[in-house]
């Protein structure tokens, strides 16, 4: 299973032996999301001047073809009465790509979810979500506009998370949506808004593949877990060495096992005491082990929300940092091997 | 006919050929280019039909917008703005 690493300066595909970094694809171009789906690889580019592009390879990266990028429909000249949509209807970034069967889903900034059933030849904005009046409350987290960074697929059930727009779920393949994610709280908001599920800054949401009612979330204000399909979350306060971070990965077969890469809150965003560590729980969040074997000290690496992944076996993990460090573990995080300290800033790491 | 010239930086991403086209405005000239080279549109305009934030247009050496007039012998340069990183 190859490892895909999307960076500020291109896409790197690391072979199954996990020794060679290999030649870069799209050298010089920011890769914001990557997905291996069936026999294809999809790479989302965010070109500084020329917009967001999507490329697909059907030969494991030997060659790439540009396919359609999601596009927002024309913004109505006069919005419906009582609404005031200040968000430009323009694609800023493909923040996440997910796929199941023939379906592709793209979570984007400024907050639109797009669907394709023709391998990216065309995309449709999911209007059932985009047209919800609650969208007016969403706001940007890390970017000027709100964005969908997590799309969790389980048959007809789709669960998404938005910075900053909380957690939403659909039970009918995206035809209708319900605001979920009760129990999260936002210390960065005034008291009246603190518990509003619709403004929560979920940094990353991850679903247990074998027990899809279990979700783990790294939120701006801490770690949360749901056992009821993301309807309600409970805070996991045992996380160490800090409760701030961006990334989370869940063991695909064991819903009690999850990994995080904590950092100093809020704006500082460096490892606690400059020691890069991974936090792992194996008991549903009652306790955490702080894993540091093979990881550096005097380190200022930050791991973004798509920068950590676990493979289908649940044994291998990989994470990449903003300072271009890439680490791999073959033993659930007990020990780590550095694959490179010199890659471009890493946006996303993903097993194929 | 106005001549539309694209920055060489664009060529790395998509084939965009220098063209002599008809049109009395920048927008009309670009539309003529996009009819012949549809792959270029999304690199210059966003999905709302507006000039991309980090793309500059010059007409005969002066910054211009989509609505600006062009003359028959004008040169329209489509360039990348340095703001785009």
* pLDDT single digits (tens) B60-75: 999 999 999 999 999 9
**Residue among A99, A348, A159, A351 at smallest CA distance from A246:** A348
Q: What are phi and psi of A166, to 5 degrees?
A: 75, -155
User: How many domains are there within chain B?
Assistant: 1
Q: Do B48 and A66 touch (CB under 8 A)?
A: no
Cα angle value B50/B52/B54 (rounded, 5°): 150
**Residue among A76, A163, A160 at smallest CA distance from A126:** A160
Question: Distance (Å, rounded) from C-alpha A76 to C-alpha A53?
Answer: 24
Question: Distance (Å, rounded) from C-alpha A3 to C-alpha A127?
Answer: 34
Q: Which residues contact A243 (CB under 8 A, 6 or more apart)?
A: A221, A222, A223, A237, A262, A265
Q: Which of B47, B81, B83 to mutate to test the interface with A (most CBs of A within 10 A)?
A: B47
Give the CATH number of the domain where residue B33 resides.
Answer: 3.10.20.30
Q: What is the CA radius of gyration of chain B?
A: 12
- Interchain contact B14–A (C-beta under 8 A): yes
Residues of the domain holding B77:
3-84
The helix (run of H) or strand (run of E) holding residue B36 is helix B26-36
Contact A168, A130 (CB under 8 A): no
Contact A222, A260 (CB under 8 A): no
**Residue among A306, A232, A225 at smallest CA distance from A258:** A225
Q: Tokens at residue A115, please?
A: 């669907």
DSSP B53: T
* pLDDT single digits (tens) B38-55: 999 999 999 999 999 999
Q: Residues of A with CB below 8 A from B43's CB?
A: 47, 50-51
Q: Do B84 and A72 touch (CB under 8 A)?
A: no
| Residue A47: closest C-alpha in chain B | B84
**Residue among A337, A305, A303, A308 at smallest CA distance from A323:** A303
Q: What are phi and psi of A191, to 5 degrees?
A: -55, -35
- Interchain contact B73–A (C-beta under 8 A): no
Q: Residues of B with CB below 8 A from A67's CB?
A: none
Q: Residues of B with CB below 8 A from A123's CB?
A: none
What is the ipTM score, two decimals? 0.93
Contact A29, B84 (CB under 8 A): no
Contact A58, A39 (CB under 8 A): yes
Question: Distance (Å, rounded) from C-alpha B21 to C-alpha B1?
Answer: 6
Q: Tell how far CA A317 is from the center of its chain.
A: 15
pLDDT in tens, chain A (352 residues): 899 999 999 999 998 876 788 889 999 999 999 999 999 999 999 998 999 999 999 999 999 999 999 999 999 987 766 667 889 999 999 999 999 999 999 999 999 999 999 999 999 999 999 999 999 999 999 899 999 999 999 999 999 999 999 999 999 999 999 999 999 999 999 999 999 999 999 999 999 999 999 999 999 999 999 999 999 999 999 999 999 999 999 999 999 999 999 999 988 999 999 999 999 999 999 999 999 999 999 999 999 999 999 999 999 999 999 999 999 999 999 999 999 999 999 999 999 9
Q: Residues of B with CB below 8 A from A50's CB?
A: 10, 13-14, 42-44, 52, 54-55, 80
Question: Distance (Å, rounded) from C-alpha A99 to C-alpha A120?
Answer: 11
The helix (run of H) or strand (run of E) holding residue B19 is strand B19-20
DSSP A134: G
Q: Which of A50, A66, A89 has its CB closest to that of B10?
A: A50
Q: Residues of B with CB below 8 A from A73's CB?
A: 47
């Amino acid at each position: 299973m190859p490892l895909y690493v999307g960076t500020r300066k291109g896409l790197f595909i690391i072979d199954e032996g996990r020794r060679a970094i290999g030649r870069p694809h799209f050298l010089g171009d920011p890769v914001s999301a990557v997905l291996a789906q069936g026999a294809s690889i999809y790479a989302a580019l965010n070109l500084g001047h020329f917009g967001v592009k999507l490329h697909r390879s059907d030969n494991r990266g030997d060659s790439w073809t540009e396919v359609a990028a999601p596009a927002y429909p024309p913004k109505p000249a006069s919005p419906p009465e009582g609404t005031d949509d200040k968000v430009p209807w323009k694609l800023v970034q493909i923040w996440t790509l997910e796929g199941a069967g023939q379906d592709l889903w793209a979570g984007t900034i400024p907050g639109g979810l797009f669907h394709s059933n023709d391998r990216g030849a065309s995309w449709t904005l999911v209007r059932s979500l985009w047209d919800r009046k609650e969208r007016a409350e969403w706001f940007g987290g890390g970017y000027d506009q709100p964005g969908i960074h997590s799309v969790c697929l389980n048959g007809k059930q789709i669960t998404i998370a938005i910075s900053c727009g909380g957690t939403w779920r659909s039970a009918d393949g995206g035809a209708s949506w319900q605001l979920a994610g009760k129990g999260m709280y936002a210390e960065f908001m005034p008291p009246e808004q603190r518990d509003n599920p619709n403004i929560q800054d979920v940094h990353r949401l991850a679903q247990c593949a074998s027990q899809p009612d279990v979700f783990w979330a790294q939120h701006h204000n801490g770690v949360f877990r749901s056992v009821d399909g993301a309807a309600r979350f409970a805070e996991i306060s045992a996380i160490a060495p800090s409760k701030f971070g961006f990334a989370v990965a869940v063991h695909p077969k064991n819903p009690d096992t999850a990994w995080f890469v904590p950092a100093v809150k809020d704006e500082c965003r460096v490892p606690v005491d400059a020691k890069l560590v991974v936090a792992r729980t194996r008991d549903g969040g009652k306790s955490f082990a702080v894993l540091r074997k093979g990881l550096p000290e005097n380190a200022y690496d930050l791991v973004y929300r798509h920068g950590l992944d676990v493979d289908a076996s649940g044994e291998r993990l990989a994470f990449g940092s903003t300072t271009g460090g890439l680490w791999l573990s073959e033993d659930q995080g007990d020990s780590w091997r550095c694959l490179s300290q010199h890659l471009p800033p890493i946006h996303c790491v993903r097993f194929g | 006919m106005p001549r539309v010239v694209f920055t060489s930086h664009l060529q790395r991403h998509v084939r965009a050929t220098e063209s002599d086209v008809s049109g009395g405005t920048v927008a009309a000239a670009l539309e003529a280019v996009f009819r012949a080279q549809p792959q270029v549109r999304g690199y210059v305009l966003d999905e709302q039909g507006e000039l991309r934030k980090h793309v500059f247009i010059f007409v005969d050496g002066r910054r211009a917008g989509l609505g600006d007039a062009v003359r028959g012998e004008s040169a329209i340069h489509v360039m990348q703005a340095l703001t785009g990183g």
